Structure 1
Amino acid sequence: MKLLTTDIKNAVLNSMEKLLQTHKSDLLEANKKDLDAFIKEDQALYDRLVMNDKKVEQMAQAVKEVRLQEDPVNKELSMQNLDNGLQIMNKTAPFGTIMIIYESRPDVTVEAAVLAFKANNKILLKGGKEAYHSNKALVKLWHQALEDNGLPKDYIQFLEMNRTQTQAFLRNPDQPLDLIVPRGGERLIAFVKEHAKCAVLVSGRGNNFMYVHPEADWEMTKKVLLNAKTHKISACNALDKILLDVTIPNFEAKVKELAQLLMEYKVNLIVDKHIHSILPNELIIDNEDIWKEEFLAMKCVLGAVSNQEEAMEKINLHSGGHSAAIMTADSQAAQQFMDGVDCAAVYQNASTRFTDGGQMGVGAELAISTDKLHHRGPLGLKQLVTNKYYVFGNGQIRVS
């Protein structure tokens, strides 16, 4: 793939930023078509679909922030001069073509494309049918920005495919495909992994846990927990499971207080047997698979654990590998928890809602990766490159 200069890439992004601002009414009109056609059964999906003035401004701001970031391509990572005279340089390089498959969320059409393009990749956008008109309108602006700067439209491609066509494309793509990022629920991820023939980077699944340690500040715990659970239920960094240590002082009273607080915020509770003995009116777990479920709803599980080791074991067994938090004033216990829990982001005394590119200083993100290769956590601009070795010689041959 041809390497574009930073100036050309930034010129395209500058054009796109202006187009988003001048075509705001067109975008909102397209989004209204999607909203009118949406059957509002899934509140989280609906929330992700909505575009308004603020959301369009945020899209434009995301483009600007990426434009102002340093170009991640062709950066020297290392240089070695070997005894045999070879000079070996390792530099960053584009992936090539990235495909992202996502549900709802028109803002992904902007953030994914801006990151992929600045990192000199082509991107194939396969959005959900519920955001068809919104995505189509946004890609039209991308194509205008590319053409206004003398570049072909195929850097950013909009795939209009149904499930069967997508399956066929994954199995036998009509163009080179280097990386696929499925951004959605378990069924989407399983579908892509089953049919794809190239690397798949898993992202988007939450099912995040919080463990309340005996040394937790209770008032702080309630504040952090409420934010993690109720601030934005449609986000993959929202809290789903709360594990309470049975040795917390005044355990039963605090369980009742917490349950009352959550119910005041209209959070539906599901409880294990131990918690059910304290809260007999709450729904008891009848299927252990619920521990693995991401809710994206005003719902959470309250469970009891005997100690921190049990909490860590439960999290590592059931979580989505996204985010987990411990509430404690004991720094040694926190370090043990953070070292031992197998998640992309681990927290002490803070809401899981911070697992986000913008909040973590990464900037715009393609997704939150829960894989361990090629990168874990927010996938920002710097993470959308691979590497390449450049070896310079003057006639060296290998003899052993």
Structure 2
Amino acid sequence: MNDLSTDTAGMDVAAVVADLGQRAKAAAQELALATADQRNLALREAAKALRARTDDILTANAADLDSISGKDAAFIDRLTLTQDRVAAMADAVDAIAAQSDPLGRTLATFDRPNGLKIDRVSVPIGVIAMIYESRPNVGSDAGALCVKSGNAVILRGGSESLHSSRVIVACLAQGLLAAGLPEDAVQLVDTRDREAVKLLLHSTDTVDLVIPRGGRGLVSLVQKEARVPTLLHLDGNNHSYIHQDADIAKAVGIVQNAKMRRTGICGATECVVIDRQIADQVLPLLRDALGDCELRGDDAAQKILPGIIPATDADWDTEYLSNIISVKVVDDLAEAIAFVQAHSSGHTDAIVTENHDAAKRFMTAIDSAVVMHNASTQFADGGEFGMGAEIGIATGKMHARGPVGAEQLTSFKYFVFGDGQQRP
């Protein structure tokens, strides 16, 4: 089983990572030939195992929490598992199992004049290395999505979540074995040695895609070191823009949820942008609705709300992941678009307005993976998009963008059918 009980300290980490890659490559070949029923059975059995081992997972998570110090509240929240969160993990795995099969879909068909028939068919990517920080539930989501899409996955979670990750991966392995599939389809890099990350990024012979999910430090490392293709998940410096034609009560409710529902997730709003025409009406209501959230405002916001903290240039580019929000007052839609474009991380941005022309202009102009109208940015989540779960929010423009579910973890190839044709 992958439920390793010993640390790899003192081991040859290069050898460990090389072995993981070879085993994952072999497992990916088997998984690509598995039926949808087998893959779905593996996921349903994994969900059962997660529920049955809830106490083990929580005990392991308690050990993770005991091993850290000096971390902020947002980090601790992301690391913490509860009975409800473990139940949500299992429910997400079941939801992924219930989805239609992303493999073997005929994406296009071409009938050529020479009689050749060409089908473009969805296939697995192969071996995916998932590198993530602190949130142990990401391992469950990523493992389940990879199994569903026929990919083997090597999980390298944050060192702080190692105890939790061991038990979660063991549950996924239990499901694979129950379905007659190789447990090596989901493996854990069971070491705290950071060299393992670089080694994964250099594993061009065995790894087909690397997906990082974490802060700018991790993403910068991946961008610098990766020799394997990457699907980047960047930070969520998200904006909610309250347009002059907004329903003010609706706007305040949306922003309150977008910021305060969970401040430590990448879908949280970090900056609210408000049209000057309604700022004096909105800001006092918003301050009250946000409760203990610290507001940092520009000059115009400070005049309306004396005593709030002045915003610095750095605030406009900061993903707080805590009870802090910046406030920018703008003259009109054009200035709002220019400001958001200049400071957004390309994750999720929203407009609140009853003016549909303004909404269309904003959503078309803002170059983010997810753009919203009259909705909380916290809906930027694969589960909320009907994907069961997500492996991350891709903020680039190639291959996949926005929430990455099972369908986005497939590639395609061409099946060409002939009857003796020879090219002249």
Q: Paired residue for 1:194?
A: 224
Q: In 2, distance between residues paired with 1:50 and 1:323?
A: 25
1:246-257 residue pairs with structure 2 within 5 A?
246-248=276-278, 251-257=279-285
1:305-344 residue pairs with structure 2 within 5 A?
305-344=330-369
Note if contact 1:325-1:350 (Cα within 8 Å) is conserved in structure 2.
yes
Deviates more, 1:128-137 or 1:318-327: 318-327
**2:410 matches 1:382:** no
Q: In 2, distance between residues paired with 1:255 and 1:150?
A: 58
Q: In 1, distance between residues paired with 2:113 and 2:209?
A: 37
CA RMSD, aligned part only?
1.7
1:66-145 residue pairs with structure 2 within 5 A?
66-145=96-175
Q: Paired residue for 2:371?
A: 346
**2:67 matches 1:37:** yes
Q: 1:256 to 1:6 in 2, by over 3 A?
A: closer
- C-alpha distance after superposition, 1:13-68 (max 9, x if no partner): 22212211222211111111011122253211211111121112112211211112
Deviates more, 1:187-196 or 1:153-162: 153-162
Matched residue type, 2:309: L
**2:423 matches 1:393:** no
Matched residue type, 2:362: F
Aligned residues: 393
- SS of residue in 1 equivalent to 2:304: coil
Q: In 2, distance between residues paired with 1:91 and 1:16?
A: 28
- C-alpha distance after superposition, 1:195-220 (max 9, x if no partner): 11122111152111011111111111
Note if contact 2:74-2:264 (Cα within 8 Å) is conserved in structure 1.
yes
Deviates more, 1:265-274 or 1:139-148: 139-148
Q: Paired residue for 1:156?
A: 186
**2:326 matches 1:301:** yes
Q: Measure how far apart 1:280 and its partner are.
A: 4.1
Note if contact 2:239-2:350 (Cα within 8 Å) is conserved in structure 1.
yes
**2:197 matches 1:166:** yes
Q: In 2, distance between residues paired with 1:21 and 1:219?
A: 40
Matched residue type, 2:238: N
Q: Measure how far apart 1:175 and its partner are.
A: 4.7
Q: Measure how far apart 1:69 and its partner are.
A: 1.4
Q: In 2, distance between residues paired with 1:238 and 1:85?
A: 54
Q: 1:381 to 1:168 in 2, by over 3 A?
A: closer
Deviates more, 1:59-68 or 1:123-132: 59-68
Q: In 2, distance between residues paired with 1:150 and 1:217?
A: 55
- SS of residue in 2 equivalent to 1:200: coil
Q: Paired residue for 1:275?
A: 301
Q: Paired residue for 2:12?
A: none
Note if contact 1:204-1:367 (Cα within 8 Å) is conserved in structure 2.
no
What's the TM-score once normalised by structure 1's chain length? 0.94
Q: Measure how far apart 1:138 and its partner are.
A: 1.1
Q: In 2, distance between residues paired with 1:219 and 1:133?
A: 45
Q: In 1, distance between residues paired with 2:56 and 2:177?
A: 19
Q: 2:263 aligns with which of 233, 241, 244?
A: 233
Q: 1:168 to 1:360 in 2, by over 3 A?
A: closer
Q: In 2, distance between residues paired with 1:261 and 1:67?
A: 39
Q: In 1, distance between residues paired with 2:389 and 2:282?
A: 39
Q: 1:305 to 1:81 in 2, by over 3 A?
A: same
Note if contact 1:40-1:46 (Cα within 8 Å) is conserved in structure 2.
no
Note if contact 2:201-2:210 (Cα within 8 Å) is conserved in structure 1.
no
Unpaired runs of at least 5, structure 1: none
Note if contact 2:131-2:197 (Cα within 8 Å) is conserved in structure 1.
no
**2:183 matches 1:183:** no
Q: 1:203 aligns with which of 215, 222, 233?
A: 233
**2:251 matches 1:221:** yes
